[in-house]
Chains A and B, each alone.
Chain A
Amino acid sequence: MKKRRRKNNGVNAGSMADIAFLLLIFFLVATTIAQEKGLKVILPPYYEGEPGKASDRNVLSIRINADNKVMVEGQESRVEDLSDLTYNFIINPLVLSSGSLSPDKAVVSLIHDARTEYQPYLMVYSAIENGNDRIWEEEAQKRHRSSFNLLSVADRNSIRMKYPRRISEADPIDFSLIQ
C-alpha cells in the first residue's frame, strides 16, 4: 500500500493572541494604576514608663485641641504656618531664644486631644514633616548639589545625624474627663 504523505501543518498560533489578550485584560483590571499617596511614618518603639525629658528650650510644643484648633508654644497658629515654624525652630537661623539651641537636639512635641479629628491631625503632621523635609533637602543641596532622595545611603545618614527630625507624640489627653 502506498502511504499518503501527510503535509506538516504546523501548530495554529492564531488563538494564542486571544489567550494572551484575555490574560492581558485580567492584569489590566487587577493593576492599580493610580499612584497611591500617603505619609510614611516610622513609629517609635514601645516601652513602658516615663518618657525622657528634653530641655524645654529645645522643644517646640504643638497642640491640637478638641475643636481642631492649633496652638504653637502657647499661641494660636494657622496650619499653613507650621512648616515654616518647624523649619525656623530647628535651624534657628537668627539664633533667637525661641528657637532650638542646635538642630540635633531639637524636638517637636505634638500633643492632641482625644477628640481631635484625624484630618486636622494629619494636616499638622504633614506640615511638620514638610518643615523637616525642607531642612534635609537644603542640606543635601548645600553639601552635594543634589536632591536628598538621590543621595547615597551614607550621605543620607550623615544628614540624618545632623538633623534627626524628632517628633514626639504623647498619648492623647481627654480634657473632657479632666474637667
Chain B
Amino acid sequence: MYRRKPRTIPEISTASLPDIIFMLLFFFMVVTVLRNSSSEIKVYLPSVFHFNKIDLEPGDIYLWIGKAGEQDDNVLVQLNDKVFPLESLEAQLTLLKQKYSIEDLEEVQVHLQADRSIQMRYLAQAKTLLRKLDLRKLIYHIEPNNLES
C-alpha cells in the first residue's frame, strides 16, 4: 500500500474577477445618464392612463413648477438647478439657451415636472414662453408608479 499524499484544496482563482467587474462597470457607464440636477421643489406629479416611455438625453433641460409651500399658493420654478419665481423664467431660459449651438437646440427636450394641483394658467405661461424661445420638444413627466400602462 502506498501512502496517501496530503491533498491541498486548490484555491479558487480570482484572477478573472476584475474582468467581470469591469464588464459590469462598462455596462453601467454606457447606460448611465448623469443627473445634473435634482429637484429642490416638492412636486407631486400627475398620473394618467396613457403615456410613453421617455428618454433622458445629456443636453436636456429640466423644469420644475410647483407650489412654494403647503399653504403657499405662490408658484416656484426650478430650471436645472436654479430656483426662482415664475416671472424670471423668461430671462433665465434665454440665458440658458445661449449655451446651446443652433443644431443642438433642435434636439433639446424640456422635461416638465409640474405639481398635479397647479393651476393651468402658470403652465400656459410657461408653454407660451417655450414656444417663443423655440424650445418645442416638451415632455410632461408623470408619476412613475402610475395607475396602469
With both chains docked as a complex, state the minimum distance between the C-beta of A38 and any C-beta of chain B, in angstroms: 4
B34 smallest CB distance to A (angstroms): 6
Q: Are A38 and B111 in contact (CB under 8 A)?
A: yes
CB atoms of A27 and B52 under 8 A apart? no
Task: Say yes or no: is B54 at the interface (Cβ < 8 Å to chain A).
Answer: yes
Considering only CB atoms, which chain A residue lies closest to B53 in the complex?
A: A35
Residues from chain A with a CB closer than 8 A to the CB of B117 are 117-119
Which of the 9-residue segments A13-21, A49-57, A90-98 touches chain B? A13-21
B146 and A37 contacting across the interface, CB-CB below 8 Å: yes
**Bound Cα distance from A150 to B21, whole angstroms:** 35
In the complex the two chains form, is B119's CB within 8 Å of A37's CB? no
A153 within 8 A of B: no
Count of interface residues, chain B, beta-carbon cutoff 8 Å: 52
A30 / chain B contacts, CB cutoff of 8 Å: 32, 34-35
Interface residues of B (CB under 8 A from A): 14-15, 17-18, 21-22, 24-25, 28-29, 31-35, 46-54, 56, 111, 114-121, 123-124, 127-128, 130-132, 134, 136-144, 146
| A-B contact list, 30 entries, CB within 8 Å | A17-B18, A23-B25, A24-B24, A24-B25, A27-B25, A27-B32, A28-B28, A31-B31, A31-B32, A37-B143, A38-B51, A38-B139, A39-B52, A39-B140, A40-B52, A42-B137, A43-B127, A46-B132, A46-B134, A114-B119, A117-B118, A117-B119, A118-B46, A118-B119, A121-B120, A122-B46, A122-B140, A123-B48, A125-B140, A172-B120
Interfacial residues, chain A to chain B (CB-CB below 8 A): 13-14, 16-17, 20-21, 23-24, 27-28, 30-32, 34-46, 83, 112-119, 121-123, 125-127, 129-130, 133, 171-172, 174
